[in-house]
Structure 1
Amino acid sequence: MSPEKNTNIRWERLLKENPGQLSKAKLARDIVLNLNYRKQSLSGTEVSRLWELIESEVEDLESETGECEVVPLGPTAILDGLEMSKKPFFRYSQWLGVAAILVFAVLLSVGAAWVYQEEKPAPPVAELVYEEHVTPPGVKSSLTLNDGSKVLLNSGSSLRYVKNFESDKRVLYLSGEAYFEVAKDSLRPFTVVSEGVKTTALGTVFNVSAYDAEDLSVSLVEGKVAVAGEQDENTSEILEMGEELKVNLATGVSRKGHFDPELVLAWTNKRIVFRRVKMEEAIRVLENWYGVKFKLRNKPAPGLLIYGEYEDEILENVLEGLSYSARFEYKIRQDEVELTFK
């Protein structure tokens, strides 16, 4: 707030009548000019009250000093100096009170404008906290998520997601294989990201298999899902119940068709089912299922496919059954299995 012309006249007149207080007026002005306005604030009511006090004090001084000829001067006249007289100033303490009120009124009222104009600092962004579940080979894990969704995580797999999910979405990152029963929430889509492929559903049941060096597959048991590339959501593929999408991660080529639930979901029922499965895939299944490592003494015949179905069988019985059709001999040494093909 800047002093108006009439206010300047009144202050100049008071100073001329009381020249002994010029040094104190200069000091008051210097204080105002050198203080940091940005750190102060004052309500409109408080500012009005302070100016009322100032006006009251000035009127009291004028009533005691009487009228005299005045000449309008700018606000820098205090620093330029006035012709001094010997007239004493009997309201010394009152003058100091007025000066003090002026200092704080100007300081706080002008500073308030700076405070409101100053850009408010942005609130700190809360750091996302992730949860991760890992199932080592030989172990399967059953999870119930914060939203009520249920997940069965296959052996040798991992699942990572924001704790309690975000306010507008539910995103999970899967490596390996998992079976999802999704709780419905129309405001927060449920998305599983695996090897750059996104599977999104609002409420549905589906299986995702995404192991290294194998095709990624999304098999829909109930409901509806949209499958798309993580970087290209505009070309999503919609799956209906009973449909499956297989994606060759090396070429990006996808194939949509129907699937056999007994075959795809066998692992959720503690069953191993091999139907025209490559030997490399069968070994991966057995390694994850039983927590062992396979060592091949020589290579199997090109194009060898595996058949077999097992439920709650020990590893030795599974290998015994496969050895006849796949024509290999096996040796089990603790957590290592050696295969020698004939």
Structure 2
Amino acid sequence: MDISKYKTEDFVFDTHFRKWVMAPDMESEKFWRQIQQEYPDKAEQMEMARNIVILLSKKKRRISDQDRRKLWDRIEGDIQIPESRSPDRPVQLTAGNREAGGKTALKVSKFSPVWRVAAILLVFLGLAYLFFHQVDQLEPGGEEEPIYAVHQTEKGIKSTFKLPDGSSVRLNSGSELRYIKKFEGDSRTVLLKGEAFFEVVQDKSKPFIVKTDNFLTTALGTSFNVNAFPGKNIQVSLVTGKVTVEDISQQDSAVTLERGESAFINQDLQTITKENFDMEKVLAWTDGTILFDGTPVDEAVRILENWFGVRIFVKSNPNKKLKLYGKFRNETLQNILEGLSHSVDFDFTIQDKEVTIDFH
């Protein structure tokens, strides 16, 4: 295959690419990461193809309402639609904006926004048809692709469930976990985007692996928390047992954690550092508790948006050195903001799913 000539649809139909997206192993990770380094101009096509594969790999031919919303969010993020803005309009601080910082939007100067949306939808639907048509035309006895289970939580929603091996997962708001059903193969690999707490059933013949971007966390029987929201550094915190954390793009990068230790992964520098962690602070979310302990305002905004499924606008820019403190268990957003406003001088309004904060 000549990757230099690949377009989005070529990646979608590449069997090895699809397997890498849905069930990566050490060999495929090294291969495709090398491709990304050799062909940086293909990054946009690969990312679009990845999103399409994730949506189309589900056995249902009918796109669900949730998948349709995700596709629409993707389209909106890829289109520049001019928008008038008054000088006093609040600055929107949302997790989506921060995570998409610096991303180049598609520029189609000859068409209106409506036609641009229609064009992208047609491309996606065309790929969907071709993808399923190709799968239907496979000869009997051909290689059958594995079936995947996907657990997703919307912002404001948390979920607890069991994996096929009996391991327990607590999935935080705005997170996604996917894996091959029945854990076929020689490992129990799950792919995480967001945050989850795992209580793993021991099985020495099949190690339990959590993949987050370039990093693998491997365990046999243990409990640990993984915080890996897009655009943020990753933190793996061990509660019981023992795990190893490694960067699959670098040799000899594995770090072993003992109980009470965390691995902090700097995605920009591609480094892993180890230190002790505050168990109450890291696991507070699993007990319905929001704990601000010297938390920057922008991080607090992200947490509250994710926790309550709201959009928060900040009208005036607070001091960058401002830190928030407070512990709130099973409290309403109204009560949390009232509590914080007593120690940090700001006014706020809540209207449906939108919150406005005005620092004095």
Which category describes the TM-score, using the shorter chain as reference length? Answer: 0.5 to 0.7
Question: How big is each residue's C-alpha offset from its partner over 1:134-176, in whole Å with a ceiling of 9 and x where there is no partner?
Answer: 1001110001011000000000111011111123111111111
TM alignment of 1:79-228, pairs within 5 A: 124-228=142-246
Q: Does 1:304 align with 2:311?
A: no
Q: Which amino acid aligns with 2:308?
A: Y
What is the 5 A alignment of 1:1-342?
124-232=142-250, 234-342=252-360
Higher relative contact order (CA 8 A, sep 6+): 2
Cα displacement string for residues 52-75 of structure 1 (whole angstroms, at most 9, x for unaligned residues): xxxxxxxxxxxxxxxxxxxxxxxx
Superimposed CA distance per residue, residues 188-221 of structure 1 (whole angstroms, 9 cap, x where no aligned partner): 1111011321100011100000113322100000
TM-score w.r.t. the length of structure 1 is 0.63
- Distance change in 2, residues 1:180/1:233 (3 Å): farther
1:175 match: secondary structure: strand
Q: CA 1:251 to 1:326, structure 2 compared with 1: closer, same or farther past 3 Å?
A: farther
CA deviation map 1:118-146 (0-9, x unaligned):
xxx99632211111111001110001011
2:270 alignment partner AA: G
- Rg larger for: 1
Q: Which residue of structure 2 aligns with residue 109 of structure 1?
A: none
SS, match of residue 164 in structure 1: helix
Name the CA distance, whole Å, in 2 between partners of 1:231 and 1:245: 17
Which letter does structure 2 place at the counterpart of 1:291?
Answer: G
Secondary structure of residue in 1 paired with 2:298: helix
Which amino acid in the other structure matches residue 232 of structure 1? Answer: Q
Partner Cα separation in structure 2 for residue 200 and residue 154 of structure 1: 20
- Name the CA shift for 1:326/1:249 in 2 (closer, same or farther; >3 Å): farther
Residue 135 of structure 2 corresponds to: none
Equivalent residue letter for 2:173: S
- Distance between the aligned counterparts of 2:154 and 2:196, measured in 1? 13
Gaps of at least 5 residues in structure 1 are 1-120
Are the aligned partners of 1:193 and 1:230 in contact in 2 as well (CA < 8 Å)? Answer: no
- The amino acid of 1:285's aligned partner reads I
Helix, strand or coil at the partner of 1:302: coil
Per the alignment, in what secondary structure is the counterpart of residue 318 of structure 2? coil
Q: Quote the sequence identity (%).
A: 44
What SS is found at the alignment partner of 1:235?
coil
> What is the CA distance between 1:255 and its match in structure 2?
2.2
Letter in 2 for 1:336: E
Please, what TM-score do these two structures have when normalized by structure 2?
A: 0.60
CA distance in 2, matches of 1:212, 1:127: 27
Letter in 2 for 1:296: V
Post-superposition CA distance 1:71-110 (Å, at most 9, x none) = xxxxxxxxxxxxxxxxxxxxxxxxxxxxxxxxxxxxxxxx
Name the CA distance, whole Å, in 1 between partners of 2:324 and 2:272: 24
Contact 1:128–1:162 (CA under 8 A) maintained in structure 2: yes
